[in-house]
Amino acid sequence: MMIKVTNEITLTPYLKKDKPDLVRHINHPDISENTLTIPYPYKKEDADEFFQMIQEKEKQTGKIWNWVIRDKDNNLIGSIGLLGREFLGNPHRDVFGYWIGKEFRGKGLMSKVVKSFSDYCLNERGLVRLEANVFFHNQASMKVLEKAGFEREGCLKKAYLKKGKYLDSVLFAKTKRID
């Protein structure tokens, strides 16, 4: 399974060979600060746990949930994935998250990735609604979502607890048109 974003960017499943690049690119305080569960520092053991989790989830469901963002040389530069909320009684919707390595930011890549990924989820995966929650301090991610066609639906006060602090988030969603 591959999702073509541009001639130079694709989304593919994780491979064992991706672990060193995963650890190198994700191990940045900005990524941890802007995501709920990614630790900093990110260690090889964290990557091992992540790989085990995605393998178990794929084996149980027969679906891919996490994709590698690959450059033209097929190297990991980031990741995007569904949380699997469609199994919590709402098979028409899911939530997703993403990150990209620091040296690849500010080039418009992530907006293209999110657009292609959301189109895939709404047209091929059978979802009718796709959501993203962004911490209020992460203005760059809000711009990514807006450029990818997501609508800002509201602010969730004290929606998340991270490192003992309550964080507000902004809810974004994109829905499939149903006539």
pLDDT at 86: 59
CA-to-CA separations, 125 to 48, 117, 118, in angstroms, rounded: 27, 10, 10
* CATH number of the domain within which 20 lies: 3.40.630.30
CA dist., res. 81 & res. 66, Å (int): 4
**Is residue 51, in this structure, part of any structural domain at all?**
yes
**Is residue 35, in this structure, part of any structural domain at all?**
yes
Total structural domains within the chain: 1
**Is residue 56, in this structure, part of any structural domain at all?**
yes
**Is residue 156, in this structure, part of any structural domain at all?**
no
**Is residue 168, in this structure, part of any structural domain at all?**
no
**Is residue 148, in this structure, part of any structural domain at all?**
no
**Is residue 119, in this structure, part of any structural domain at all?**
yes
* Tens of each residue's pLDDT in the chain, 179 residues: 899 999 999 999 999 999 999 999 999 999 999 999 999 999 999 999 999 999 999 999 899 999 999 999 999 999 999 998 756 677 899 999 999 999 999 999 999 999 999 999 999 998 999 999 999 999 999 999 999 999 999 999 999 999 999 999 999 999 998 87
**Domain interval for residue 65:** 3-130
CA dist., res. 175 & res. 15, Å (int): 31
**Is residue 9, in this structure, part of any structural domain at all?**
yes
This prediction has a pTM of: 0.95
Backbone angles phi, psi at 145, to 5 degrees: -65, -40
pLDDT at 5: 97
Tokens in use for 69? 């963002």
CA dist., res. 15 & res. 167, Å (int): 33
